[in-house]
């Protein structure tokens, strides 16, 4: 992941020009403008000595956008798996779902979220519980379609 986001650079520019910066926005490894890092699992090939944050390469992470009031889920999809590609992708996705499940359990968040069929955006949600539900459906559906 890029160490500085556009929002951060724009804020620095505005701060130098106007000597003002929105006080509710912090600037650190967990915050960048309206973005707030919530949780993630570092990629095996991340070369930093940092805990998972905005500045690390992560296999999965949740970022909250204060402006849109939505949680966004990102997963790393660049890996090239050997052997049966679909089977290895499903193992990878299930591994990420297991990590997400542990996060939910450790933070006393419900994994029993239910919704209607119409889900507009698989990787954005108003709550972490809804985001988990959508990712669980994505992983189950992807693996089912691929036969694993």
So what's the pLDDT on residue 118? 57
So what's the pLDDT on residue 15? 52
Give the chain's residues under pLDDT 70.
1-24, 115-121
Please report, for the chain, the start and end positions of each structural domain, with discontinuous segments joined by +. 6-75, 85-146
So what's the pLDDT on residue 128? 96
So what's the pLDDT on residue 3? 40
Q: What is the pLDDT of residues 92-115, one digit of tens each?
A: 999 999 999 999 999 999 999 876
Using H for helix, E for strand and C for coil, what is the string for the chain?
CCCCCHHHHHHHHHHHHHCCCCCCCCEECCEECCEEEEEEEECCCCCCCCCCCCCCCEEEEEEEECCCCEEEEEECCCCCCCCCHHHHHHHHHHHHHHHHHHHHHHCCCCCCCCCCCCCCCCCEECCHHHHHHHHHHHHHHHHHHHCC
So what's the pLDDT on residue 5? 53
So what's the pLDDT on residue 24? 61
């Amino acid at each position: 992941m890029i160490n500085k986001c556009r929002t951060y650079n724009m804020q620095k520019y505005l701060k130098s020009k106007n000597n003002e910066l929105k006080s509710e926005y912090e600037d650190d490894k967990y915050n960048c403008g309206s973005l707030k890092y919530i949780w993630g699992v570092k990629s095996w090939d991340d070369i930093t000595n940092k805990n998972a944050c905005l500045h690390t390469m992560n296999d999965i992470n949740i970022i909250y956008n204060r402006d849109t009031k939505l949680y966004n889920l990102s997963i790393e999809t660049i890996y090239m798996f050997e052997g049966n590609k679909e089977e290895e992708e499903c193992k990878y996705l299930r591994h990420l779902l297991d990590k997400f499940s542990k996060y939910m359990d450790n933070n006393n968040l419900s994994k029993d979220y239910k919704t209607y069929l119409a889900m507009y955006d698989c990787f954005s949600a108003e709550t972490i519980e809804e985001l988990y539900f959508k990712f669980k459906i994505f992983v189950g559906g992807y693996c089912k379609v691929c036969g694993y």
